Chain A
C-alpha cells in the first residue's frame, strides 16, 4: 500500500516533501486507523499549534492530512476527497466564527456533517466556545489543551459518530 510511509513512523526529514500540499493522498482509509484532516482557517499566520497537534495525532497512530491554509469550501472538499473521520481547524486570528460558521454550513450542505467530527482549536473569547458548540463543532480546544486530551477526545467522538452511523 502506498500509505506505507504513514506519519506514525516518519521522522521530520522523511516528511520533508517538496510540495506545499504535502498531503499523502490516500484514497482508501487504512483499516482501523482514524483519519484526520487538519487545516489553518483562512489566511491565519499562526501555525505552531496546528503543527504540534499534527505531530501529536500521528504519534498517537492516527493518519493525518494537513492541507495548510484553506477556506471552508476547500477544507470540506478536501475532507470529502480524503474520506476522513475528523476535520480539525485552527484559528488564532479572530476568524473562528466568521469562517467557522460557513465551514459547518458547507459540511451540512454536502451531507458531510453527521458522520464526521468537527474540531476547532485556537484563541477565542470564552463565550465563543459555547457559540462554536451551538453551531455544530464537536470539540473546542483552547491554549493549554494537551495532546493526550485531544487524542482521547477524538477517540470518543469518532466512536460516538460511528455508533450513530451504524444505528
Chain B
C-alpha cells in the first residue's frame, strides 16, 4: 500500500457518498421518458438494432468502450448539473478551467521544432514564429535525449536527426539566437527527468548570461519518469527510484527559482503512442501525479505551491467523442483528487491544464494526404475537449520529420479551427449532451479504477519496477496490431478501401548534411577553450550531491556554467546511481 492508508478511489467514494444530489430531471419526467422509450424500442426500433443496441467501436488506440445506439436522459438519470458539471471556471471544472476559455485566451499553437544543428533549428523556429506560431516546442535529437555527446561513438550517424543536437550551453545559445527568451513561452521537450536535470540548467545559464532574470521565464519541461522508465528504449537505464527522485529534485528547484515555469509535464502522450488505450494513458499520468505530490509533501512542501504548476500532455486519437469525453473526465477527476485527497485550497491547484499533440501512430504511409484529415479531426476533438495548447502532426511524419510546407499546413489547421469554424466562441459546446455526459462519467470511472489498481500494487514507482505496466502495454499493442492486421480495426486506404493506384510522391524532408562533423569540431574547441579545472570541480560536486542524495539541480547548474557537456553529466549519474535492468517486453 502507498503512503496513504486509503486509496484515492476509496477517499473519493467516501467524499461523494454522503453528499446530497440534486438531479436535473424530475422523477415525473423520467417516468414518462422511460415509458415512451420502452414503447419506442418495441414499436419503432428494428429487431436487429435492438439486438445490437450496444456496439463497441474498434479504433486505433481506442479504449473499447461500448456505445448505445441512442442516448437519452435515462442514460444518466441522476445527473446533477452543479455537482457533475458546474459552469466553466468553476468546480468541478468539467467544462473547462477558465470561465471564458478560448474567448479569453486562445489555445497556444505550439508546433514541435527541432532538427539538424542548433543553427538549422533556429531558422525553423523563426519561420514558425513569422507565420503566427504563438509558442515554441523544442525537440532534441536522439543522442541528446539519450544523453550522449555528439562525438560519442554511440552517437555516430544520429546527430541532428529527429531533433536538434545540444552538447553544452553554447548550443542552447545558438538555438535561441535572437529569440527573446522572456517574451515567448518555450516548451523544452526534455523527455526524461535525468536529461531535464542536464538540459534545463543550460537554458537557465543562457538566460543568466543574457541578463534575463529567471523569474521572467515562462514555459515548460517534460521531466517525466514514465518516459524514462516505461517507454524508452536505450542502452542504459537509471533505477526507477533514482529517476523519480530526480524528477522531484527538478520540481523543487524550478518551483523555487523559476516560479513561472511548468516543472513537469505528466506525460500520457508518449505512453499512448507506444501503445495503450486512452484510459490507461490517463490513469498512468494521474498515478504519477499523485505519487509526485505525495513525495513533494513529504519533502515539506505545501500542496498548493506544487500543484498549480503541474501540466499534463495527452494524445487525442481517432475515436472523436471518446477523446472529447476523456479530456472532460480527467479534468473533473483531477479536481476531485486535488480537492479531496490532497486538500488543496487554491483553485489553480485543481486545474488539469494540458498540452496535446495529435496522434502520430494513427498516421499511415498509404495515401499520406489522408493524414491531414485525420490530424484535423484529432485537433478538433482536442479543442472541443478544452485543451490549453496544441501541436498538430504533419501528414508526412510516417516518412520523416516534416518539411517546412507540411509543418506550415499543421499550423494552418489550427488557425482554421480558431478563425474559421466558430467553435471557439462557445465554452464546452457539447456539455449536456446525453451521450457525451454518459461517456464522460464512464471514462472517469475507468480511469479511477486503473489508478486504484496501480495504488493497490504499491504505487506508481513500484508498478514500474515490477514490470506490470510494461507487460500491460506490450499486450495492448500486440493485440492492436493483430486486430488491425485482421481488419477488425479499420484503417482507410490500409485495410479498408485499399486503392491499387500508386501513392503519389510527396516531398520528404532531408536532414541537413555535415551536422555531426560540425558538432564534433565545436566540442573539440569547447573542451580546449574551457577551464577544465572548473569543469572537473563542478562534476565532482554533482557526483557528491548524487551519492549523498541532495537536490542535484544547483550542482548541475554549476556544471552548465562551467561548460560541462551533457555526456559528462550523464556519466556522473551512471557512476552514482548504477544501472537498472528493465523487463523484457515480449
Contacts and interface: CB of A to CB of B under 8 A. Distances in A.
A40 to B, nearest CB: 6
A112 interface: no
Interface in B324-341: none
A55 B156 CA distance: 29
A43 B584 contact: no
> Which of the listed residues B157, B162, B485, B582 has the most CB atoms from chain A within 10 Å of its own CB?
B157
> Which of the listed residues B145, B478, B510 has the most CB atoms from chain A within 10 Å of its own CB?
B478
A148 B482 CA distance: 10
A99 B399 contact: no
B481 interface: yes
Interface stretch (B310-318, B347-355, B467-475): B467-475
Given A52-B478, A144-B365, A18 B581 contact: yes
A87 B296 CA distance: 47
Contacts of B231: 45
B494 A71 contact: no
B146 A43 contact: yes
A80 interface: no
B210 to A, nearest CB: 31
Nearest to A149: B485
Contacts of A7: 586
Nearest to A70: B235
A163 to B, nearest CB: 30
Given A13-B471, A18-B581, A43-B143, A52 B365 contact: no
Interface string A117-136: 00000011111000000000
Interface string B343-369: 000000000000000000000111000
B457 to A, nearest CB: 15
B518 to A, nearest CB: 15
B482 to A, nearest CB: 8
Interface string B417-430: 00000000000000
Nearest to B364: A144
Contacts of A142: 365
Given A40-B233, A43-B148, A123-B400, A16 B467 contact: yes
A51 to B, nearest CB: 5
B471 A143 contact: no
Contacts of B145: 43, 45
A68 B162 contact: no
A143 B365 contact: yes
Contacts of A55: 478, 586
B584 A15 contact: yes
Interface in B554-586: 581-586
B156 A42 contact: yes
A143 B60 CA distance: 14
Contacts of A95: 142, 157-158, 161
B511 interface: yes
A143 B237 CA distance: 28
B168 to A, nearest CB: 19
A111 interface: no
Contacts, number: 125
A48 B477 CA distance: 8
Interface in A3-38: 7, 12-13, 15-20, 22
Interface in B480-496: 481, 485, 494
B399 A123 contact: yes
Given A66-B586, A99-B158, A147-B481, A46 B471 contact: no
A6 B582 CA distance: 21
Interface residues of B, number: 48
Contact of A45 (B142, B155, B481): B142
A51 B350 CA distance: 38
Contact of B234 (A12, A45, A124): A45
B251 interface: no
A22 B582 CA distance: 10
A51 B153 contact: no
B526 to A, nearest CB: 21
Contact of B142 (A44, A71, A127): A44
A66 B471 CA distance: 17
Interface string A42-62: 111111100110111010000
Contacts of B582: 20
Interface string B162-206: 100000000000000000000000000000000000000000000
A16 B481 contact: no
Contact of A98 (B154, B157, B364, B505): B157
A99 B583 CA distance: 27
B275 interface: yes
Contacts of A69: 233-235
B586 A12 contact: yes
A40 B146 CA distance: 14
A94 B161 contact: yes
B401 interface: yes
A42 B157 CA distance: 8
A66 B233 CA distance: 12
B118 to A, nearest CB: 17
Contacts of B161: 93-95
Nearest to B579: A20
A43 B234 contact: yes
Interface in A56-87: 56, 58, 66, 68-71
B377 interface: no
A43 B155 contact: yes
B508 A127 contact: yes
Contacts of B233: 40, 44-47, 68-69
A55 B585 CA distance: 9
Contacts of A159: none
Given A55-B586, A69-B233, A144-B494, A125 B400 contact: yes
Given A55-B586, A94-B161, A98-B158, 14 more contacts: A16-B471, A43-B142, A43-B143, A43-B235, A51-B477, A71-B154, A93-B161, A94-B400, A95-B157, A98-B157, A123-B399, A124-B400, A144-B494, A147-B485
5 contacts: A16-B467, A22-B584, A66-B586, A68-B235, A95-B142
Interface of A: 7, 12-13, 15-20, 22, 40, 42-48, 51-52, 54-56, 58, 66, 68-71, 92-95, 98-99, 102, 123-127, 142-144, 146-148
Pairs of residues from A and B, 5 with the lowest C-beta to C-beta distance, nearest first:
A98-B157, A94-B161, A47-B233, A125-B508, A22-B584
